[in-house]
Homo-oligomer: A and B are copies of this chain.
Amino acid sequence: MSILVVGSVAFDTVETPFGRAERVLGGSASFFSVAASFFAPVRLVAVVGSDFGDAQLKAFRGRDIDLTGLERADGPSFHWEGRYSYDLNSRDTIRTDLNVFESFAPKIPASYRDSEHVFLGNIHPKLQREVLDQVDRPRLVACDTMNFWISGAPEELRATLARVDILLINDGEARELSGEWNLVKAARAIRAMGPRALVVKKGEHGVLMFSEDGSFAAPAFPLEDVFDPTGAGDTFAGGFMGFLASRRSADDATLRRAVVMGSTLASFCVEAFSLDRLLRLTRTEIDERYGLFKRLTHFEPL
């Protein structure tokens, strides 16, 4: 079952304590698409500028990623530049040049309308709804957002959340959206807004999922060398949605495995700059690390 994803395809300039990468491939939809394409066909909706050429596009080629919905606009592509702290736990944005992304109005190709899985990346919640309006009958809609929309477009965001099955956000965003510090209370408040499941991403502390079947906690994989956290959350979402699409189910057991699969993909993403590690990843490596997550968390009953 195919997945429609809308989000950004961009250039990133990233500085970590371990090096610097200049104008490399980035953007939420890029990380999402490559991660999800290990499991299911992906249909990409995004916009790039005239500076985005074959060198960049080759990341998507040879994979099950449909680029019909990748619009090319006049002007430069979205460019984000950031610098991470020595411990990688915080980052400063040096510049955000929205460029062609600023006036992005997602147009869904006719061939995408029958998509059964939809992932609404972090764009204006009004645009997220416009994407949904252009899809026939999605079986599962998941969504990301950020503080900027939570505080800046709360009514629009509420209207979108009412049409979403699963919301994936980080812990700070869950707290801001709900007005509750306690994540259990935050989850209840957010699920009352529409999503039947909430996936809270906590970076190096893993993921908490809340649904009608209770809560599920997955750790992040303890890595000795974290190189660049950029894109880890989007990669998580790609692995999560890709797995769900491949299983044609979203029951509790499948959601839990999808969370672990998302964590597995994210753990590879951070091992190198940009999509470098994802692009040379194999399904065998993925399955092996999924097994290591089992080993990492397993304990016997009393």
Contacts and interface: CB of A to CB of B under 8 A. Distances in A.
A86 B181 CA distance: 9
Contacts of A302: 257, 287, 290-291
Contacts of A86: 181
A293 to B, nearest CB: 8
Copies in the assembly, this chain? 2
A94 interface: no
Contact of A224 (B184, B217, B218): B184
Given A205-B205, A219-B206, A219-B219, A224 B299 contact: no
Interface stretch (A114-122, A140-148, A154-162, A208-216): A208-216
A184 B222 contact: yes
A279 interface: no
A202 interface: yes
Given A208-B222, A222-B184, A296 B217 contact: yes
16 contacts: A86-B181, A182-B224, A184-B222, A206-B219, A214-B295, A215-B222, A216-B297, A217-B296, A217-B297, A218-B297, A218-B299, A219-B219, A256-B299, A287-B302, A291-B302, A297-B297
Contacts of A224: 182, 184-185
Given A260-B299, A302-B287, A302-B290, A217 B208 contact: no
Given A184-B223, A257-B302, A291-B301, 20 more contacts: A86-B181, A182-B223, A182-B225, A182-B226, A183-B222, A184-B222, A202-B205, A208-B222, A214-B295, A215-B296, A216-B296, A216-B299, A217-B297, A253-B299, A256-B299, A256-B300, A259-B299, A287-B302, A290-B301, A297-B299
A222 B218 CA distance: 12
Please classify the interface of chain A as helix (H, G, I), strand (E, B), loop, or mixed, using the class held by over half of its residues: mixed
Interface in A244-302: 253, 256-257, 259-260, 287, 290-291, 294-302
A222 B182 CA distance: 9
Interface of A: 86-87, 181-185, 202, 205-206, 208, 214-219, 222-226, 253, 256-257, 259-260, 287, 290-291, 294-302
Interface centre among A216, A222, A259 (most CB of B within 10 A): A222
A167 to B, nearest CB: 17
B216 A217 contact: no
A73 to B, nearest CB: 41
A119 to B, nearest CB: 21
